[in-house]
């Protein structure tokens, strides 16, 4: 069975409920991971940007009648990434490697063919980079990797994802460290105010500053380089959760100046689920304990590689991650970031016209591809299922807050349709009990 038939069969098997709609079935018949549509050239981008992005949209198998505004949770792999994953499954499951000690798993060795392109993409060296499975794993390495004494403090923001907050709370409960928070204004108006809040929250007992580059709560882009500069002047170790950054905007981790950085390429880089990375600045590596342990944990010459020795894991995901890096490079990360910001500004301005309260930032430098707005009396428990069941529009939020993602493959017409359906819902809204 070739991969096209395999995918169609898999979709047919999975095709209960929403996946069995006629529109999706018709769309699925045209999927061929072996022969994805040709990528548009740079000349088209110069001549007609909207047509360029319309052709990029064809690389994604999200049904054409679906509007996906939840990339902040998880992205969709484009066809070249799916092809790389499927090819790797086929090749590795033959189990005919030339070296009998080579196995189609990762979790023990260096896998430099995957680390090298990712290291270049984020501006670090191979020896400072470990391949892990998501930001949660990277955050746990950071939270448990350094020696701390009871009473030592870690400073985090009040907008951390649970995987950034809870590892520190667990360590506090188990070992007696203290977790403190600084507040990010909603919306953020200027960098100086935020930096003053961070500075005021630091005490003589603060040892570590852990925060998000882009927060998952509101999508605000913190002035992370300035925050890390501040941490350094105070003698603090800086650890950054970059789950919402990689692939959304240009990222040079070394230039940021942090000591550690973790991310999940399955969001904005559109990589496979189960891919992540942990950066540890070279000067910090020997201070870090490995918290998931197998052979190699006590071999300092391995550098950051020893943090990716955690046992058998899924090699085809790494093939897909490399393909995702290649895909982003083919488009161009500056072009991607520009598109993300353009769509974000359009979404924000249109929601602002509707009286929505911006909780992210007014200044567009503090927004990239997420904007969170407050729309009382509408409640997400009513809006989210209604938009999905009636209109095939995916959003996410909580309470009366909507978090709207604007990935580069989104079309302006998609945003307009969301706005139309949002207005329709609002006109007819009758809150449930």
Instruction: Report DSSP letters for 125-148, one per residue.
Output: -GGGEEEESSHHHHHHHHHHHS--
Instruction: Write down the pLDDT at residue 224.
Output: 98
Q: Give yes or no for residue 309 having a pLDDT over 60.
A: yes
Span 223-273, pLDDT tens digits? 999 999 999 999 999 999 999 999 999 999 999 999 999 999 999 999 999
Name which of 319, 274, 313, 265 is nearest 86 in CA terms. Answer: 319
What is the distance between the alpha carbons of residues 39 and 4, in angstroms, rounded to a whole number? 19
Q: Which domains does the chain have, with CATH numbers?
A: 105-327 (3.40.640.10), 333-433 (3.90.1150.10)
DSSP β-bridge partners for residue 358: 373
Instruction: Write down the pLDDT at residue 8.
Output: 53
Return phi, psi of residue 67, to 5°: -110, 115
More confident residue, 109 or 396: 396
State the DSSP string of 274-332.
Answer: T-EEEEE-HHHHTTPPPSS-STTTT-GGGGGGGGG-SS-EEHHHHHHHHHHHHHHHHH-
Instruction: Write down the pLDDT at residue 194.
Output: 98
Instruction: Write down the pLDDT at residue 102.
Output: 84
Contact between 237 and 201 under an 8 Å Cβ cutoff? The reply is no
The arithmetic mean of pLDDT across residues 199-217, rounded, is 98
Span 43-58, pLDDT tens digits? 999 999 999 999 999 9
Contact between 390 and 362 under an 8 Å Cβ cutoff? The reply is no
Instruction: Write down the pLDDT at residue 33.
Output: 79
Confidence at 32, pLDDT banded by 50, 70, 90: confident
Contact between 36 and 3 under an 8 Å Cβ cutoff? The reply is no
Instruction: Write down the pLDDT at residue 432.
Output: 67
Return phi, psi of residue 337, to 5°: -60, -45
Q: Extract the tokens encoding 62.
A: 């999200």
Q: Give yes or no for residue 212 having a pLDDT over 50.
A: yes
Q: Round the average pLDDT of the chain to a whole number and report it.
A: 92
Confidence at 5, pLDDT banded by 50, 70, 90: low
Q: Give yes or no for residue 202 having a pLDDT over 80.
A: yes
Name which of 260, 221, 226 is nearest 240 in CA terms. Answer: 260
Instruction: Write down the pLDDT at residue 293.
Output: 87
- Residue 349, H or E segment: helix 333-353
């Amino acid at each position: 069975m070739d991969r096209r038939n395999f995918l169609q069969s898999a979709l047919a098997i999975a095709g209960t409920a929403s996946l069995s709609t006629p529109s999706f079935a018709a769309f699925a018949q045209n999927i061929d991971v072996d022969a994805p549509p040709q990528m548009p050239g740079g000349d088209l981008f110069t001549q007609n940007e909207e047509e360029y992005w319309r052709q990029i949209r064809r690389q994604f198998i999200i049904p054409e009648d679906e509007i996906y505004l939840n990339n902040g949770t998880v992205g969709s792999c484009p066809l070249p990434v799916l092809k790389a994953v499927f090819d790797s499954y086929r090749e590795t499951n033959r189990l005919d490697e030339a070296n009998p000690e080579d196995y189609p798993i990762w979790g023990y060795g260096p896998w430099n063919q995957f680390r090298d392109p990712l290291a270049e993409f984020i501006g670090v060296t191979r020896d400072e980079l470990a391949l892990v499975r998501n930001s949660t794993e990277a955050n746990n390495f950071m939270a448990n990797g350094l020696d701390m004494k009871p009473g030592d403090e870690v400073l985090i923001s009040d907008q951390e994802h649970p995987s950034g907050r809870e590892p520190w709370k667990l360590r506090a409960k188990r070992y007696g460290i203290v977790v403190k928070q600084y507040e990010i204004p909603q919306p953020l108006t200027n960098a100086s105010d935020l930096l003053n809040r961070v500075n005021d929250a630091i005490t003589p007992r603060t040892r570590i500053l852990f925060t998000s580059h882009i927060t998952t709560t509101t999508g605000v882009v913190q002035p992370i380089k300035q925050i890390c500069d501040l941490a350094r002047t105070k003698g603090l170790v800086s650890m950054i959760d970059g789950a919402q950054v990689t692939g959304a905007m240009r990222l040079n981790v070394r230039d940021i100046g942090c000591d550690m950085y973790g991310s999940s390429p399955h969001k904005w880089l559109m990589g496979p689920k189960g891919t992540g990375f942990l950066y540890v600045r070279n000067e910090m590596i020997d201070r870090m304990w490995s918290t998931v342990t197998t052979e190699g944990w006590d071999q300092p010459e391995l550098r950051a590689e020893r943090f990716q020795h955690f046992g058998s894991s899924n090699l085809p995901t790494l093939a897909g991650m490399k393909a995702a890096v290649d895909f982003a490079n083919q488009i161009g990360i500056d072009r991607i970031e520009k598109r993300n910001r353009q769509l974000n500004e359009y979404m924000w301005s249109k929601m602002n016209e509707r009286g929505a309260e911006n909780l992210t930032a007014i200044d567009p430098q503090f927004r990239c591809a997420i904007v969170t707005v407050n729309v009382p009396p509408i409640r997400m428990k009513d809006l989210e299922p209604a938009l999905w069941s009636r209109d095939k529009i995916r959003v996410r939020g909580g309470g009366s807050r909507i978090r709207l993602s604007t990935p580069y493959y989104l079309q302006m017409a998609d945003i307009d349709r969301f706005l139309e359906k949002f207005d329709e819902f609002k006109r007819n809204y009758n809150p449930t009990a």
